[in-house]
Amino acid sequence: MKKLFALFVLALSFVALTITFNIYIYESKKVSALQDHMSFLASKGNVSYISSEEEARLEKEEKRRIKEEEKAAKEEAKRKAKEEAEAKKAEEKRLKEEELQKKKDELEKALNASKQINLDVAIINQLPEYKNGCEATSLTMMLNYAGVDVSKDSVIGKVKRDLTPIKYDSKGSIIEWGNPKKGFVGDITGKTPGYSIDPVALAPVINEYLPDKALDLTGCDYGELENVLSSGRPIVVWITSTFKEPKVSHTWTSNGTVINSYFTQHAVLITGMDENSIYYNDPLTGVKNAKIDKNTFKSVWTKMGKKALSYYK
């Protein structure tokens, strides 16, 4: 009986020992797992454990981080809003400038359109009767437009002449002749040498048909020509027949006055204009409303002495 009891106690002790050993192994594994977890935390967050103080600090830092992120988000939103406002303002400015430019262009177009003048003046050809009759024929066209029913023959009949005979030197150069400021120099028909007449000597013919209406524009600024034309009055102007730069052809004296002549000189009647061009009736070619670049016209007209003749309304 004692032997059996001893065996029972021994078996019970073995069982207890086995249970204790298993418990030890289990707890050891838990400690090892905890150590591994703490090591992992240490490698990631450089902490080995989290105390209540540490937890409070981390919570405080998290709140600060969130607050900074919210602040950064607000600043970013503010920046974007500012950029959008500036972009909107710039776009509004651009649209306003475009609208302003559009109105400016429309106004300029309207002004240019208002400067588009085209007077319907009947063309008269100086040929074949009057090879040198461009001034008188242009004047006839102008008088007809002003309501005077007159022919070029009648007008030419009233043109004053400077009958000073032409004289040459031994080389055939003209040394003495008439003065175009006094009257038409030479033969207006061209059967014998003839030259020209200036506005001051031609103006009295206008007064013959339109009493006290002659308007000598010689020496005026180009703008005055536009003003007269805009008022509906054509203008006789002295230029060159091809609108090339004038060159002195001959120089002679007339009663002591030196005369520089341009044998390419020509007179036409300005009938219209637009932004870039001048339109004219050419008595030599018989072309109505011929066109010439405005700058070219101004240059040649200026170099020819700014000679022009029209009439008062």
pTM of the entire predicted model: 0.66
**284 in Cβ contact with 266 (< 8 Å):** yes
The CA distances from residue 67 to 55, 79, 80, in Å, are: 18, 18, 20
**189 in Cβ contact with 130 (< 8 Å):** yes
Q: Mean pLDDT throughout 79-103?
A: 89
Tell me the DSSP string of 166-179. Answer: PEE-TTS-EEE---
Q: Does residue 114 surpass a pLDDT of 80?
A: no
The CA distances from residue 104 to 109, 269, 303, in Å, are: 8, 34, 35
Residue from 132, 138, 145 nearest 236 by CA? 138
Query: Measured between alpha carbons, how far is 187 from 194 in angstroms, rounded to an integer?
Result: 4
Which two tokens mark 29? 């594994």
pLDDT band at 247 (very low <50, low <70, confident <90, very high): very high
Could you read off the pLDDT of 60-75 as tens digits, one per residue?
888 888 888 888 888 8
Query: Measured between alpha carbons, how far is 253 from 141 in angstroms, rounded to an integer?
Result: 32
Q: Which helix (H) or strand (E) holds 241?
A: none
Could you read off the pLDDT of 191-227 as tens digits, one per residue?
999 999 999 999 999 999 999 999 999 999 999 999 9
Instruction: Give residue 51's pLDDT.
Output: 81
Tell me the DSSP string of 193-229. Answer: -B----HHHHHHHHHHHSTT-EEE-TT--HHHHHHHH
Q: Does residue 107 surpass a pLDDT of 60?
A: yes
Could you read off the pLDDT of 38-58 as tens digits, one per residue?
555 555 554 445 788 888 888
Tell me the DSSP string of 31-75. Answer: HHHHHHHHHHHHHHHS-S---HHHHHHHHHHHHHHHHHHHHHHHH
Instruction: Give residue 16's pLDDT.
Output: 66
